[in-house]
Amino acid sequence: MLPAMAPRTAPPVPSVTTTTPTTAPATTAPATAALATTGFAPFGRTAAVLAVTALLATSQLYGMIPLLGSVATDWHTPPAGLTWLVSAFGFGYAAGFLLFGPLSDRLGRRRVIVAGVAATAVSTALVALAGSPGPGLALRALQGLTIGAFPPVAMAYIGERVEPHRRLVTVTTMTTGFLASAVLGQLAAQGLVATLGWRSFFLAGAGAFALAAVALRWALLPDGPSTGASPLAAYRAMATLVRAPGLRLLYLATPVVLGSFVAVYTGLQLTGTTGLLELRASALPVILAIPFLTPRLARVPGPRRIALALFTAAAGTALVGLLHPGTLLLALLLMVVTAGIATAAPGLIDTIGSRAGAVRAPAVSLFTALLFVGASLGPQVAAALTGHGLAALALVLAALLGGGALLALASRR
């Protein structure tokens, strides 16, 4: 669920369309011309390497949540105050989407991806060396910024270099990596902090990113000649998109999606909820199943699909607040919440992309940046409300998700 490339030109925003959405990034004429001489990328190795890197990338956002208690003890700081370590990464990540997507038009896709992932190996290792909140926050923001070079440029690469009939499968595989990181990143961090300490999560991540950079350089095709496109064209298009009548309500709803999801898991950590290992693992089957259900879900019109998904997540979250459930029931409710979130995010991509028409790429990049701005704010919402208990947090999040669903419905007009 991540952005496609920034276009090489910035035409005016077209009127809202009703075309059937698709999750495969569109290609452009210059890209097609380049393929005439370079050929298409090998499917197997491309999909595999991009999916594993996607898993590593967003694991660094979610993996911080189980580490909060251990880092707080090490730094003699209350855990709630360290939720900014999650937020700082998310803000840097969102900024990286906006910065590197347009830059890759001029510098080349493989060059930007490999450099960004290699730089993340260094920035991740530096996080492990942080000894206090100040440097830790700065390094987490840097870490998010460097790995922010991967998602939008990888999506652009798929749209240009993968055979058309394999693009949807490749995007789905990569998206599954991003979604699965919400569970696997937390499980890996929880396991490592219990045995080797919190720093081991970042040291292991640094090594994994270094290997990923080598694998990406091997798997991705060399860059063709630079188009000389100006990144400013994409930024001008984004400024216009925010005001587009068919898009602005959807953009308003976007931060709620991952913001609520991250807030729920941060709240579970801060309130000392028992059975966290089981609760985190319970969402994995849902995350793995949603991409395979996407073709059927896509038959439902975009705004209605988004609204139903967010209402589902809101209902599950509200029941967490109203029922004060035990571990088993809480795990089932978290599966409902996860299903709603994992359905709403691709639905937003589809609807925003189809309505944006010729400026689909910057429209989806802007969506993804807002998505992770929400993810960055989620821990702060959790820190502010968990003093009143998990129920208070859950009910507020349910209201926000319900509001997002109403905005999606209103966007039908």
**Residue pLDDT, tens place only, 294-309:** 778 878 888 999 999 9
Residues 154, 263 within the same domain: no
Domain-terminating residue out of 229, 254, 270: 229
Residues 66, 215 within the same domain: yes
Per-residue confidence band for 25, with pLDDT thresholds at 50, 70 and 90: very low
Residues 211, 245 within the same domain: no
15 assigned to some structural domain: no
Read off the CATH number of the domain in which 388 is found.
1.20.1250.20
Classify residue 200 as exposed, middle or buried by CB count within 10 Å of its CB (0-12, 13-18, 19+).
middle
Number of domains observed in the structure of the chain: 2
Per-residue confidence band for 105, with pLDDT thresholds at 50, 70 and 90: confident
Residues 262, 295 within the same domain: yes
Task: Give the pLDDT of residue 359.
Answer: 77
213 assigned to some structural domain: yes
State pLDDT tens for residues 126-164.
999 999 999 999 999 999 999 999 988 888 888 889 898
* Of 85-99, 287-301, 329-343, 370-384, the least confident: 287-301
- What angle in degrees, to the nearest 10, is found between the helix axes of 164-195 and 64-75? 30
- pLDDT of 24 > 70? The answer is no
Task: Give the pLDDT of residue 62.
Answer: 94
The average pLDDT across 59-87 equals 94
Domain-terminating residue out of 229, 253, 283: 229
Domain-terminating residue out of 194, 213, 229: 229
Per-residue confidence band for 374, with pLDDT thresholds at 50, 70 and 90: very high
Rounded CA gap, 152 and 323, in Å?
A: 40
Tokens representing 18 are 């009703």
**For the stretch 284-305, what's the b/e string if a residue is b when 16 or more beta carbons lie within 10 angstroms of its beta carbon?**
bebbeebbeebeeebeeebbeb
State pLDDT tens for residues 185-228.
999 999 999 999 999 999 999 999 999 999 999 999 998 776 66
Of 159-173, 234-248, 336-350, the range with the highest mean pLDDT is 336-350
Residues 222, 248 within the same domain: no
Task: Give the pLDDT of residue 14.
Answer: 38
Q: Work out the percent of the chain whose per-residue pLDDT is above 70.
A: 90
Residues 213, 303 within the same domain: no
Per-residue confidence band for 2, with pLDDT thresholds at 50, 70 and 90: very low
User: What does the DSSP 8-state code read for residue 387?
Assistant: G
Task: Give the pLDDT of residue 227.
Answer: 63
pTM tops 0.75, yes or no: yes
17 assigned to some structural domain: no
pLDDT higher at 184 or 19:
184
Per-residue confidence band for 229, with pLDDT thresholds at 50, 70 and 90: low
**One-letter identity of residue 172:** T
371 assigned to some structural domain: yes
Residues 61, 206 within the same domain: yes
Q: Minimal CA–CA distance to 160: which of 110, 114, 117?
A: 110
1 assigned to some structural domain: no
25 assigned to some structural domain: no
- pLDDT of 251 > 60? The answer is yes
Domain that holds residue 186: 34-229
- DSSP labels, 51-99: HHHHHHHHHHHHTHHHHHHHHHHHHT--GGGGGHHHHHHHHHHHHHHHH
SS3 assignment, position 413 = coil
Residues 300, 412 within the same domain: yes
Residues 221, 249 within the same domain: no
Task: Give the pLDDT of residue 228.
Answer: 60
User: What does the DSSP 8-state code read for residue 357?
Assistant: G
The average pLDDT across 99-119 equals 91
Classify residue 32 as exposed, middle or buried by CB count within 10 Å of its CB (0-12, 13-18, 19+).
exposed
Residues 225, 240 within the same domain: no
Residues 163, 79 within the same domain: yes
Task: Give the pLDDT of residue 1.
Answer: 42
Whether 6 and 369 have beta carbons less than 8 Å apart is answered as no
The average pLDDT across 398-404 equals 97
pLDDT higher at 86 or 164:
86
- pLDDT of 259 > 80? The answer is yes
Residues 273, 397 within the same domain: yes
- pLDDT of 178 > 60? The answer is yes
375 assigned to some structural domain: yes
State pLDDT tens for residues 311-339.
999 999 999 999 989 999 999 999 999 99
2 assigned to some structural domain: no
* Of 14-18, 291-295, 306-310, 398-402, the least confident: 14-18
Here the contacts of 197-200 (C-beta below 8 Å, separation 24 or greater) are 197/70, 198/67, 198/70, 198/71, 198/74, 199/128, 199/129, 200/128
